[in-house]
Each structure stands twice: as structure tokens, then as C-alpha cells.
Chains A and B, each alone.
Chain A
Amino acid sequence: DVKVTQSSRYLVKRTGEKVFLECVQDMDHENMFWYRQDPGLGLRLIYFSYDVKMKEKGDIPEGYSVSREKKERFSLILESASTNQTSMYLCAGGLGEKLFFGSGTQLSVL
């Protein structure tokens, strides 16, 4: 099975800090995604990437950026964290029609 690993399970940051969320996948596949999950809302797509150095905005990209320097690594960047970015962040790798999710990073911005 494909494995998608997110480096942190829990993070606590202060307003205005620059935050990096890291995601690594062990499949040799191009597609990677960042979602956020909030209570009462379905997963919402922030950014995705279909290849190295390629990125596309999802539905809610404002306040976020991404980096894909290597095929296996897809990083989500919060340039200046705000309290409304407190959320569960899920990284996923795509293989055909299947998405494989990481365990998620619960980010709290104080």
C-alpha cells in the first residue's frame, strides 16, 4: 500500500508566524494534494500538484502557498498564520482513482 507521511501530528503556532507543513509519499506518482478539514464542512482543497515544480490552486488557496521541489515531497506554507487557519490539514497522494491520505496535522494558531 502507498504510504503518505505528514511530519507533525500536532502543531501550535502564534499569529503571524510562518508555518511549514511537510508531506512525503513513498509512491512514484506525481499527484499530491493538500486539504483542510473543519467541523461541519467537507474536506476542502487548498492546493495540488501533478508534477515536480508544478502547482495549481484549489478551492481555498488564499493565505497558503506550496512547494514541490522533489516528486516525493509536497509542502504547505502558511506565510503569516492567522487564527482562522486553525484546522486539521490532510495531505494526500493520488494513484489512479484512489487517494491515499496522511494521518493529518492538527494546527492551532493562537
Chain B
Amino acid sequence: KNQVEQSPQSLIILEGKNCTLQCNYTVSPFSNLRWYKQDTGRGPVSLTIMTFSENTKSNGRYTATLDADTKQSSLHITASQLSDSASYICVVSALTGGGNKLTFGTGTQLKVEL
């Protein structure tokens, strides 16, 4: 069964600090991995999409890594800001005969405080 597990479930950090969110998956056959940011009461917004051959991808202060061998990904946030407070969702896509099938993690709830 395809699964995506994220850790930690929730995290509180001080503004300006860095943090790393983890995503482990058992999705097969792997197509790509995405990180989304979801603000409270809003829909998720894409941060990065990584394919099998990509190890690192950055989007501003967000850097995602992918280790396809160990089936792990991380999202590193540098110099956190209050606006980074949100849920971060890892989504892994499996390539099936009917197209890409997405499996969503339950998210890491990040709170950035002063």
C-alpha cells in the first residue's frame, strides 16, 4: 500500500531560526515528489516538485532534498518568518497505467513565533 509519512506532526520555532521537515514514503513506482504549503483556511500551494533524478531543489528560503534510494525527502526552511506558519504537505506521485496517482501525507504543522 502506498503511504507517505511526515514528521514531526507539529513544530514550534522562533522567528529567524531554521528548521527541517521530513517525509518518508513507500510509493511505487515513483514518479515525483511535491511539497505544498497550506495556510490556515486556504488551499495548498505548490513549493517544489522533484523527479527521480533531482537531489535538491530550492525555492527562495525553501530547499527540498530527495533521496530516492532511501525514499526520503526533507524540506529545509531557512531564516524562518512569521508568514511561514502553515501546514506543509508532502505528496508523492506514482506512475500507474491510468496516469499519476497522488498519495498525500498528513502534513507538518509549523508555527513560527516571535
Residues of A participating in the B interface, judged by any CB pair closer than 8 Å: 4, 9, 40-45, 90, 92, 97-104, 106
- Indicate whether B55 reaches chain A with its CB closer than 8 angstroms: no
Instruction: State whether B43 touches A104 (Cβ < 8 A).
Output: yes
Instruction: State whether A98 touches B49 (Cβ < 8 A).
Output: yes
A9 and B89 alpha carbons, distance in the complex (Å)? 21
Instruction: Give the nearest-CB partner of B99 in chain A.
Output: A50
- Indicate whether B41 reaches chain A with its CB closer than 8 angstroms: yes
Apart from A42-B4, A101-B44: 4 A-B pairs, beta carbons within 8 A: A42-B89, A97-B34, A103-B42, A106-B41
Instruction: State whether A103 touches B105 (Cβ < 8 A).
Output: no
- CB contacts (< 8 Å) of A101 on chain B: these are 43-45
Instruction: State whether B103 touches A42 (Cβ < 8 A).
Output: yes
**Which 7 residue pairs spanning A and B have beta carbons closest together?**
A101-B43, A42-B104, A43-B104, A42-B106, A101-B44, A102-B43, A103-B43
Cβ of A105 to closest chain B Cβ, rounded Å: 10
Cβ of B52 to closest chain A Cβ, rounded Å: 13
Instruction: State whether A42 touches B105 (Cβ < 8 A).
Output: yes
Instruction: State whether A97 touches B49 (Cβ < 8 A).
Output: yes
Partner of A42, one of B41, B49, B93, B107: B107
Instruction: Give the nearest-CB partner of B102 in chain A.
Output: A45
- CB contacts (< 8 Å) of A4 on chain B: these are 43
- Indicate whether B32 reaches chain A with its CB closer than 8 angstroms: yes
